[in-house]
A and B are shown apart, each in its own frame.
Chain A
Amino acid sequence: MANNSSCNRRDFLESSIRLTLALAVGGVGGLAISKAATDDWVWQIDPFACTQCGRCADECVLSPSAVKCVHAFDLCGYCDLCGGYFIPGANALNTGAENMLCPTSAIQRKYIEDPYFEYVIDEGLCIGCAKCVKGCSAFGNGSLHLQIKQDLCVNCNECAIARLCPSDAIKRAPASDPYLIKGGFMEN
């Protein structure tokens, strides 16, 4: 074994590099774990920050979008002239499609009692375009607002809408508390 010493050197060098790599991985892992969260993250829209730009309908990796309109009934005024339901200056306050703001007729208007109407979102039809949200925020109580529906969302590592949201309204939320529903959740 003429080159035994060089063999030992190789051995030694290789194991030390392996050890260095192991330490590097351990170091990065340790640093990250020191602030790691046991909870998982999901993406959610802060309804107070959202400016209803309409990108939620177009930019989600899913089609139709995982973003849907939700109705915080607690805040709703049950108006006959619903700012979220009717186009401004609607000819008549009825369920005719030509009077509706929603491009997919996803809002169901139901008579409750004089003069109140209930508005319910049909999630299967809603594409998350925020048109109704804009109307409701501008002319009503702002009870209609967008949320990412966690049963639909595939929880992208980076939400494709968050990257493009002009108001930075989409943030990571803890998976144990994944919604920011208006009413239950107050602006702080």
Chain B
Amino acid sequence: MSKWKKTGSAFFLSVLEGISFAQQRFPKPEFETGYVQPSPETPAPRALFLEYLDVGVLFLVLLLASWLIYRKRSRRGILWLSVFSLAYFGFYREGCICAVGSVQNVALSLFRPEYAISLTALAFFLIPLVFTLFHGRTFCAAACPLGAIQDLLVAKPVALAPWVRKPLGLIPHLYLGLAVLFAATGTEFIICRYDPFVGFFRLDARFVMVILGIGFLVLGLFVARPYCRFLCPYGVLLSWMSRFSKRSLSITPAECIDCKLCAKSCPFDAIEKPTNRQAADVKESNAKRFLVYGLLLPVFVAGGCFLGGRAHVFLSKAHPDVRLAELLISQPEVRNDPDNIDVQAFLASGKTMETLIAGALVVRQEFYYGSLILGAFMGLVAGLMLLNQLAFREHTDYEPNKADCFSCGRCMDYCPVGKEVGKTREVGKNPGGWKNPGGLGKPGRCGKPPGFDEYLI
């Protein structure tokens, strides 16, 4: 009972002394029995050199992927490389950090002075883009764990008509725009939060995210790589790069004999048929529409700006300060709700309503400008996408669409020419095909790989 009294009275005293003395209400005892005080355990995070090692692995995987595609023309090699990436960047590294999410780190670093991006995150952002500018989307084929997990589960892909595919292609642009907006305003990292596959890599996720992830994988059995094609924001940047890449995958190592074997081999509908005369005629009649769409472009941009301006109030609600300020203004009674953690923490913090509102207004202003830019960007993208529908590019072979092709190499496997020639000649010495030494294109197409007319979108 005496112990009770001792601690009890000390406790009572401390309460009297109040908060100002909160650190040491009870002085540390002087032990007489030689008791040795332990120290709190502070296990170190993953070593920095291992983070740099990840960058090295990424670099090597991309190098190897280029070699496999342009020299070896090996679908199997790409497949195994993607399995490795899935194991390493996916299951071993548990999905963080990845190139897809690094977009947000870059945006945060550019717009928020208080955050300095780490070199590893920056490397994960830049290296795949640079590789893609030279060699096409080999990152998607072999290095991206999100792509790999979807690619391995392609079972019975159905072909999607262009009128389904193209409009859906707007979603990744919007997702990219929103991700940059939310990151730049310091709101949140939506790409990471809604990553459907990272839960598999960690073998731990919320129920909703598990359902979402399984949903994507099941959908992916029939609609190949649904996340890559209709959501991935980094894929937008990659497609910009690969549209103008110096090299790109060619289906045949030599002359296309128009056997049509590869036509259905691409699960991602990325192979374009040779154009015919009819299409060329259509092209002529398109000239007027081209002009109309061209004139519509500024209208689209202006419209996007308008919509963005209208949406900024709504979008800004994603920011916790704005949300809290709005809640406290519209429902002052939440102040008495002991279960509302955010409100109670705010009230306990001693901050005034004025500072909260002032902060929220600053955020909203940032959202205003950001949403204008986002709207203009979306208008531009939509307008260019329309224009691109009309762009006509003559080509005589079956060839991948440079922007959409993930460089997975499936189509190469289907091409009978490759097999024969590969045995008798050194295919590897001429990665772009026999008619285009150095891989710089094919006759009849201005000696250029596809892509010129498509640069719009």
Q: Which residues of A are at the interface with B, using a C-beta cutoff of 8 A?
A: 3, 6-7, 10-11, 13-14, 17-18, 21-22, 25, 28-29, 31-33, 35-42, 51, 53-55, 61-63, 70-81, 83, 93, 112-116, 118, 120, 123, 137, 139-142, 147, 149-151, 153-158, 160, 163-164, 166-167, 172, 175-176, 178-179, 181
Contacts and interface: CB of A to CB of B under 8 A. Distances in A.
B369 to A, nearest CB: 18
B388 interface: no
B116 A36 contact: yes
A179 B122 contact: no
A81 B448 contact: no
B341 A54 contact: yes
B204 A61 contact: yes
B103 to A, nearest CB: 10
A22 B105 CA distance: 20
Contacts of A36: 109, 116-119, 122
A113 B126 contact: no
B144 to A, nearest CB: 15
B7 A25 contact: no
B25 interface: yes
A39 to B, nearest CB: 7
List 7 tightest A-B contacts by C-beta distance, closest first. Answer: A77-B26, A166-B345, A150-B45, A151-B43, A158-B189, A115-B3, A7-B446
A175 B188 contact: no
A18 B448 contact: no
B28 interface: yes
B355 interface: no
A156 B97 CA distance: 7
A37 B47 CA distance: 15
Interface string B111-144: 0000111111110011001100100000000000
B78 interface: no
Contacts of B118: 36-41
B48 A40 contact: yes
B33 A178 contact: no
Interface of B: 2-4, 6-8, 10-11, 14-15, 22-29, 31-33, 35, 37-46, 48, 51, 94, 96-98, 101-102, 104-106, 109-110, 115-122, 125-126, 129-130, 133, 188-189, 192-193, 202, 204-205, 240-241, 244-246, 320, 341-342, 344-346, 348-349, 446-448, 451-452, 455
Contacts of B320: 163-164
Contact of B40 (A6, A35, A141, A181): A181
Given A115-B6, A167-B349, A139 B40 contact: no
A42 B11 CA distance: 37
Contact of B37 (A31, A74, A80, A175): A74
Nearest to B241: A21
Chain B at the A interface: SS class:
helix
A71 B39 CA distance: 8
A87 B212 CA distance: 41
Contact of B117 (A18, A35, A155, A179): A35
Given A17-B244, A36-B116, A157 B122 contact: no
Contacts of A167: 345, 349
B190 to A, nearest CB: 9
B45 to A, nearest CB: 4
Nearest to A37: B116
B451 A14 contact: yes
Contacts of A7: 446-448
B3 A114 contact: yes
